[in-house]
């Protein structure tokens, strides 16, 4: 799984390098080439977003204990993607201003104040867009942390459940062992009791035999 992530990672690095190079070239190109270049960059930005989505899916499949490093790399790539989009927007603003000036010709000088105002408004909108994107990234990072925390909590609960089952099985084995020991103790006690009874019986029989023999001897002497 990590090999798939690294493959997407390499593709993303190559693609973002190409996008960066093209964005820096946009202001210096002739109008026709600029239009084609802008369309090309838009297409590549979409491809980069798709790569990020694939990488994000791969990260979600990685076990939580190994996911931290990949999550940090994903946040870095998303920030890089946001910066590319911001640079592209600025490049497009500069491109649209140049096209407008070419269309206006000499009248563009009389409308210079309006163009400056438009640029300021666009810059303000761009700043707001960047703030929204940063907020979105922070929310996404917070959501990712919450998901990881939930998964870790679930794994801990599962581990605790397994440990509880092991402890319960150990207790059951101890109870069985205690029961078996109790039975063995009762059997040994019964055997010992019978042994003592047999020995007492043998002693009594021995005493009886001795008395009988002595009595017989005594009677035989008296008859003589």
CATH of domain 3-105: 1.20.58.400
How would residue 26 be classed by pLDDT, with cut points 50, 70 and 90? confident
Closest listed residue to residue 89, CA positions, set 52, 33, 42: 42
What pLDDT digit, counting tens, does each position of 115-142 carry?
555 555 665 566 656 666 665 666 666 5
What is the distance, to the nearest Å, from the Cα of residue 106 to the centroid of all Cα atoms in its chain?
A: 62
Q: Work out the pLDDT band at 106, boundaries 50, 70, 90.
A: very low
Distance CA 157, CA 141 (A): 24
The average pLDDT across 74-96 equals: 82
The pTM assigned to this predicted structure is: 0.44
State pLDDT tens for residues 185-196.
888 888 888 899
Q: What are the sequence ranges of the domains in the chain?
A: 3-105
Instruction: Lowest mean pLDDT of 87-96, 99-108, 118-127, name the range.
Output: 99-108
What is the distance between the alpha carbons of residues 161 and 176, in angstroms, rounded to a whole number? 23
pLDDT digit string, tens, across residues 137-172: 666 665 666 566 667 767 777 777 778 888 888 788
Higher-pLDDT residue of 100 and 74 is 74
Q: Tokens 């001795």 belong to which residue? A: 210
Rounded to 5°, the CA angle 92-76-58 comes to 110
What is the share, in percent, of the chain residues with pLDDT greater than 70?
A: 72
Residue 176 banded pLDDT, cuts 50, 70, 90? confident
Report which of residues 14 and 184 the model is more confident about. Answer: 14
Average pLDDT, the chain: 78
- Residue 109 binned pLDDT confidence (cut-offs 50, 70, 90): very low
Note the pLDDT of residue 224.
Answer: 64
Structure-derived torsion over alpha carbons of residues 199, 203, 205, 209, reported in degrees to the nearest 10: 150
């Amino acid at each position: 799984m990590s090999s798939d992530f690294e493959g997407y990672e390499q593709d993303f690095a190559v693609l973002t390098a190409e996008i960066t190079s093209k964005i820096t070239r946009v202001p210096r190109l002739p109008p026709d080439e600029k239009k084609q270049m802008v369309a090309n960059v838009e297409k590549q930005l979409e491809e980069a977003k798709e790569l990020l989505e694939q990488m994000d899916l791969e990260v979600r499949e990685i076990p939580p204990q190994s996911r931290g490093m990949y999550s940090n790399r994903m946040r870095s790539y998303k920030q890089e993607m946001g910066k590319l989009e911001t640079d592209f927007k600025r490049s497009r603003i500069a491109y649209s201003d140049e096209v407008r000036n070419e269309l206006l010709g000499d009248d563009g000088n009389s409308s210079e104040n309006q163009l400056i105002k438009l640029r300021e408004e666009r810059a303000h909108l761009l700043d707001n867009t960047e703030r929204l994107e940063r907020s979105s990234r922070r929310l996404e990072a917070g959501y990712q942390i919450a998901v990881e925390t939930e998964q870790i909590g679930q794994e801990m609960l599962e581990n605790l459940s397994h440990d509880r089952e092991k402890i319960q099985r150990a207790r059951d084995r101890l109870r069985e062992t205690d029961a078996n020991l109790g039975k063995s103790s009762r059997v040994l006690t019964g055997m010992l009791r019978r042994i003592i009874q047999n020995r007492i019986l043998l002693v009594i029989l021995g005493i009886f035999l001795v008395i009988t023999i002595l009595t017989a001897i005594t009677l035989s002497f008296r008859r003589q």
